[in-house]
Amino acid sequence: MKPVTSGYFWLAVLLAGCNPLFVRTQSPEDLESLLTEAELVGDLAVAANTAPVAVEAIGLVTGLSGTGSDPAPSPERAEIIAEMQTRGVAKPNRVLESPDTAVALVVGYLRPGIQKGDRFDIEVRVPSQSETTSLRNGWLMECRLRERRIFGAQIHDGPILALCEGPILIDPGAERDENGVMANRGRILGGGVALKSRPLQLVLRPENRDVRTSDRIGKALNQRFHTFSSGIKTGVATPKTDEYIELIVHPRYKDNVQRYLQVVRSVAVSETSAERIQRLDILERQLLDPVTAATAALRLEAIGSDAIDTLRQGLEANDPEVRFFAAEALAYLDDSEATPALGDAARDEPAFRVFALTALSAMDDFAAYEELHKLLAVNSAETRYGAFRSLWAMNPHDSVIKGEMLGDQFSYHVLDVGGPPMVHVTRSYRPEIVLFGKDQQFATPLTLDAGKSIMINAREGDEHVTVSRFSVSEPDQKRVVSTRVDDVIRAIVELGGTYPDVVQALQQAVEIRSLTTRFEVDALPRAGRSYERGPVGDGDASESAGDSGSAEDEASDDAAREANPLDGVLPPPELESPHPTPELFSEPQADSSSRPPGRRTGSSSAREGEPTAQSGWLGRIWARRNSS
């Protein structure tokens, strides 16, 4: 099949803005009607404050097993000493002398629209010239995170925007790294807490900057969206000046902020009832054409409840792409008729999956819950874990997926569901372990480490496992439990094990084939996958779309696991996409230097010498110093 690259196609891309998928089309259509619609918010203003903000600090890591070091005289040492004195540490230099401590650069990223109290991941690393050999078993003491900028030759700190602390998760295979680099880098899942909210902004284009236009946009958005504050109904938009409008994220879009901005920009600033009826007729025709369906669905969603009947027409289309875009828009309007089409898309079409799952999670509807519950038992690892995360976002107290905070360390869920047994752990978003199937067993014999103090042992043929804790300053402790994975995890935590300790033990069990069920790390559906249309009139996608739960999908996953059972602890290569993954399934921004050699980190549009969200000023300064 040969992709068409006609002028009509590129006009469609230009007018659609950020299309959520890469689409190759064979059906160019007449798009002139797209140019004659009502004046939209996006015609008058652009979104601002939409990039992640890097917040940084110099932190102190404790609890190391002799792998730390006393930092050389430097601005970083001076900063950590000043911080320790502020917190009342009497002899900070003596603390730094200990081989069980290390000084590290701490970086987090505040996502657009983050709210006060929201958690985010923290990246921790030591400078390359440090004598520290590993951060394994380390605990980052509380840090105060700020945005930092260089003006002239001076580093200037902004206000404190977040706090962070917690256990550091290190790649279990890091010690095999010949250069020892990966052992000095880790992550604290959900270790940061935002102290301030980051509202979005709409900035008026220069030719439209006046108080009247700002007010018109604010009224149009508040007529379409509202939220509640202390029980009082309020709008989401607050015109601040003739240049910009402050925008609150509507709760339904909290896990898909980029879509929210697309819908906001598609809201009509002013139109009469007659004009809206005419526009609905035009949008219905565009919705039924796969070439224009994505843009039409967004603009219908921006209209609101008046567009539900029009969108339902798309559910009856033969084309799966039309059905998906119509269902996605209906989900954000909380229409239950969207759920079957979204369930089919999540199950059968990888290109649509991440958006379908996010849309289902945004609904307040029992039908959406039932659809997600059915997906927990499919073969595809990313589909069933995606369904779990969607259900958790919908209602974390739901009886099917409700878990517990194990040892105040991590969220732990044992699901009594069908499908192949699977253990899933996270290295982003929040510390979490999910068992799909409650009776999973370890095979014996086994000898595992869980951190520096806990060992797990069982001889061949044993029906019980011994979990022991050895510590110089404490009496030995021991638990004898069954070979059930659930029992062993609980025993590790009872003996003081942390989330990184449990993950380490599970990873080792995979490596020695003691954990025989499927093991996955961040099996997340992704954006940026291609969807290829079949010939016009077929009504079905081409065979390249595939079935997410098919044997082919499973074989690909199993081949990757066989090639490297420890793969996944480090960030995977980023896929370039014109539409980013929804926040519900996105991974944190990461310093490209924390990625293993040879992995793609995506392109950057920043000019040389400018700060980016992927690296803060401290990281750039440290990199210059270490390379000089």
| pLDDT given for residue 33 in this prediction | 46
Q: Read off the tokens for 322.
A: 């039309």
Average pLDDT over residues 340-364: 95
- What rounded mean pLDDT belongs to the chain? 81
Taking the mean position of all CA atoms in its chain, how far away is CA 600? 18
Q: What is the pLDDT of residue 585?
A: 84
User: Which residues fall within 8 angstroms of residue 331, CB to CB, at 6 or more apart?
Assistant: 338, 339, 342, 359, 360, 362, 363, 368
The model's confidence at residue 241, banded by pLDDT at 50, 70 and 90, is: very high
571 has a pLDDT exceeding 70: no
**In this structure, what are the phi and psi dihedrals at residue 29, rounded to the nearest 5 degrees?**
-125, 170
Give the pLDDT confidence score for residue 70 in this predicted structure: 93
Average confidence (pLDDT) over 291-320? 95
R_g of the chain, CA atoms, integer Å: 26
Burial, 602: exposed, middle or buried (Cβ in 10 Å; 0-12, 13-18, 19+)?
A: exposed
* pLDDT tens, position by position, 158-214: 899 999 999 998 876 665 555 567 889 999 988 999 999 988 999 999 999 999 999
DSSP characters for 566-618? Answer: TTTSSPPPPPP-SSPPPTTTPPPP--GGGSPTT-------PPTT--BTTB-HH
Burial class (CB in 10 A: 0-12, 13-18, 19+), 160: middle
Instruction: Give the percent of the chain with pLDDT over 70.
Output: 78
The reported pLDDT for the residue numbered 428 is 82
One-letter identity of residue 357: L
Q: Name the burial class of residue 199, with classes exposed (0-12), middle (13-18) and buried (19+) by CB atoms within 10 angstroms of its CB.
A: middle
Lowest mean pLDDT among 71-85, 413-427, 505-519: 71-85
Q: What is the pLDDT of residue 203?
A: 95
Q: Which two tokens stand for residue 234?
A: 């309020």
- E strands, 315-406, in order: 404-406
What gap in Å lies between CA 525 and CA 582, rounded to an integer? 10
- pLDDT given for residue 566 in this prediction: 32
Average the pLDDT over each of 218-222, 401-405, 428-432, 549-553 and give the range with the smallest value. Answer: 549-553
pLDDT computed for residue 154 by the predictor? 75
Lowest mean pLDDT, pick from 74-78, 174-178, 505-509, 561-565? 561-565
Quick one: pLDDT band at residue 584, thresholds 50, 70, 90?
A: confident
- Mean pLDDT score, 351-359: 95
Please, are residues 326 and 312 in contact by the beta-carbon 8 Å criterion? yes
Give the per-residue pLDDT at 76.
86
Q: What is the pLDDT of residue 408?
A: 84
- C-alpha distances out from residue 162 to 143, 429, 594, Å: 8, 16, 22
Average pLDDT of the segment spanning 287-302? 95
What is the percentage of the chain residues whose pLDDT exceeds 90? 60
What pLDDT shows up at residue 579?
Answer: 60
For residue 108, what pLDDT is reported? 95
Return the residue matching tokens 């796969």.
Answer: 290
pLDDT over 80 at 6, yes or no: no
What per-residue confidence (pLDDT) applies to 175? 56
Which residues does 264 contact at the CB level (< 8 Å), separation at least 6? 41, 47, 202, 221, 225, 247, 302
Instruction: Decide if pLDDT at 531 tops 80.
Output: yes
Q: Which helix (H) or strand (E) holds 552?
A: helix 551-563
pLDDT at 359 over 70: yes
The pLDDT assigned to 98 comes to: 93
Place 401 in a pLDDT band, splitting at 50, 70 and 90: very high
Encoded tokens for 438? 């409650």
Cα separation, 469 vs 455, in Å, equals 6
Structure tokens belonging to residue 226? 């509202």
pLDDT at 589: 52
CA distances from residue 382 to 247, 484, 521, 553 in whole angstroms, order as listed: 33, 24, 10, 10
Average pLDDT over residues 323-342: 96
pLDDT surpassing 80 at residue 67: yes
Residues 433, 503: Cα–Cα separation, whole Å: 9
255 DSSP β-pair partners: none
